[in-house]
Amino acid sequence: MTSGENPPTGREHEVGVLAGPLLTFDLEQEIQQLRSEGRWQSGHTAKTLAKYADFRVVLIVMTSGGRLVNHRTEGRISVHALSGRINFKTAEQSVDLSAGQMLTLERDLPHDVEAGVDSAFLLTIAWARCANC
């Protein structure tokens, strides 16, 4: 492990540096890495790319038919489809997202995500800035 890296987490991929003044990512390479892991075959796997007190970016890959059922976040989110097609559903609305499309969602709203085909998307979570961070 080199200076600035986080300790291992038990995941199949390296965590790497999660915070800094400037981070860059090769998303296609990150997607391929996640798809090479055994965990992906269970329906989905994810990797946190950036993690700050008030902001997080997570890359999620899902197999066709993979689901993230009835969950919520305390922060506002954006979902940006990178490949494939996902269905994003709240109690009020259902939206199909294809590569290049994005949605935003208000905080604390329960939602489901299902992949119609093998898919990848970026989840961005933003929290209100905390006073003690």
Look up the CATH number of the domain holding residue 54: 2.60.120.10
* Residue 12 falls inside a structural domain: no
Domain that holds residue 110: 44-126
Q: How far apart are CA 43 and CA 33, in angstroms?
A: 15
Domain count, the chain: 1
pTM: 0.84
- Tell me, yes or no, whether 78 lies in a domain: yes
Domain assignment present for 28: no
In a domain, 27, yes or no: no
In a domain, 104, yes or no: yes
CA distance linking residue 116 with residue 74, whole number of Å: 27
110 within some domain: yes
- 59: closest CA among 128, 121, 131, 133? 121
Q: Is residue 64 part of a domain?
A: yes
Residue 87, in any domain of the structure: yes
Question: Tens of pLDDT along 57-116?
Answer: 999 999 999 999 998 999 999 999 999 999 999 999 999 999 999 999 999 999 999 999
Question: 57 phi and psi, to 5 degrees?
Answer: -125, 125
**Mean of the per-residue pLDDT values of the chain:** 87
